[in-house]
Amino acid sequence: DARVTQTPRHKVTEMGQEVTMRCQPILGHNTVFWYRQTMMQGLELLAYFRNRAPLDDSGMPKDRFSAEMPDATLATLKIQPSEPRDSAVYFCASGTVGGADEQFFGPGTRLTVL
């Protein structure tokens, strides 16, 4: 049963600390998306990768957020330094361009910045 996995599932940290979230897309998928979900804003797209290349990261605060795909099986989202307003659930999703184009979501990382 192919699934998107994310680690950690929960993270509590103090303001100013670095946070790294990891995502393993479904094998064979060539697109990866990072989303953030909050009660106030709903779901927001942070970054989009196709074939490991970042095509859109306009949704990310560039001064503190960075997203990478070191290889086809790993996507990372890093926040440095973290701030209380970054507290949210961060979702990773993967899919395929040219196929059904459906996005499959991971379980999310719930981040709390104190």
The count of C-alpha atoms lying within 13 angstroms of the C-alpha of 48, restricted to the half-sphere facing its C-beta, is 10
Residues 45 and 37: beta-carbon distance below 8 Å: no
Question: Helix or strand or coil: residue 54?
Answer: strand
Q: Residue for token digits 């719930």?
A: 110
Between CA 101 and CA 108 the distance in angstroms is: 20
Based on the shown chain and the rule CB under 8 A, indicate whether residue 54 belongs to the binding site for another protein.
no
Question: Between 81 and 110, whose beta carbon lies closer to another protein?
Answer: 110
In the set 8, 55, 80, 85, which binds another protein (CB under 8 A)? 55
String of contacts with another protein for each residue 31-50, x by CB under 8 A: x-x--------xx-x--x-x
Kindly list the residues in this chain that would bind another protein in the complex (CB under 8 A). 31, 33, 42-43, 45, 48, 50, 55-56, 91, 93, 97, 100-108, 110
